[in-house]
Structure 1
Amino acid sequence: MNKDVNTRPNLYKIGYSSDDRCCICEGDSETLEHLFFRCSYIGSVIGLISDWCGLIHTDINSMTGNNTTTGSRVQKQVYVLVLNAYYYQVWAQRNNATMNAILLMTARVFKLIKGDVKHHVKHKYKPVVDFRDEAWLKLLDLM
């Protein structure tokens, strides 16, 4: 899949970019692995998400329903919403840094992710919840 995505190494190969380094942290080569999981900037966003959701900071993929061993069906579905918003916002920030040389503060990116999730829970997803899930959603400020 990495061959088909316009990461900096691929853009560099076709002459669109001056180098293959991550446009966000300007450290390592911008692979999808680096961009979504290893970049220091992204690590700060993951930390904010982990603190918000009460998860260990090291692995955002632990939020996927298939990898989460505890939690209700609603919690697992909310984690999937969080992941989708995370991937969307990381890619949007990467594109903004690449095309416009603008990078939002990590707290702002986290606020956008939280807002996306809150919007989906309130207006699109509308889960049927029991009292435990309702309390959990209120704790995350999603209800």
Structure 2
Amino acid sequence: MFCWKLLWGRLPTREMLHAIRLGGDDRCCLCGLFTETIEHLFYACQYSKEVWTMLGKVQLEFAKLGASVSSEWITMAWGRRSMSDDYIRALVATTYWGIWKQHNQVAFGESLDGGGMRSGET
């Protein structure tokens, strides 16, 4: 269900919740700097960039790819059929899920894993 919501842009980001009057601040809860869209949360947010960089093989400039990047990644990952590609699919899906889980932990009052703090907090 998570991957479907990601692919179709149906994750309840702060931008979406703000637009339907279910949320106040629409800034990203991980960095606190920009509007929390799916694109920002998974690709442009400094936290997510660090996650993808740690993954090692994902060195793309996500911000330049535009709004369809999540569907392109999922389509690419699920369009392959070898054993090593199964590993890649699982790794990519798990990374998306990990970012979303961390987002939810921070959104509901927990700190970033490893004691990290949002930009501007002291």
* Structure 1 length-normalised TM: 0.57
Across the aligned residues of Structure 1 and Structure 2, the Cα RMSD in angstroms comes to: 3.0
Q: Which residue of 1 aligns with 2:55?
A: 49
User: Percent identity at matched positions?
Assistant: 26
Task: Find the partner of 1:83 among 92, 96, 101.
Answer: 92
Aligned-residue offset at 1:17:
3.1
Number of aligned residues: 98
Larger helix share, 1 or 2: 1
Q: Which residue of 2 aligns with 1:119?
A: none
Q: Which residue of 2 aligns with 1:116?
A: none
* Structure 2 length-normalised TM: 0.66
Matched, 1:6 2:5: no
- Contact map agreement 1:11 1:17 (CA 8 A) in 2: yes
Aligned-residue offset at 1:65:
5.7
User: What amino acid sits opposite 1:64 in the alignment?
Assistant: A
- Contact map agreement 1:47 1:57 (CA 8 A) in 2: yes
Instruction: Provide the secondary structure at the position in 2 that maps to 1:29.
Output: coil
* Structure 2 counterparts to residues 1-143 of structure 1, below 5 A: 1-2=8-9, 4-50=10-56, 55-58=57-60, 61=73, 64=77, 66=79, 73-105=82-114
Which portions of structure 1, spanning 4 or more consecutive aligned residues, are displaced by more than 4 angstroms?
none
Structure-2 separation of matches of 1:105 and 1:16: 30
Structure-1 separation of matches of 2:13 and 2:108: 12
User: What amino acid sits opposite 1:57 in the alignment?
Assistant: Q
Instruction: Give the structure with higher Rg (CA).
Output: 1
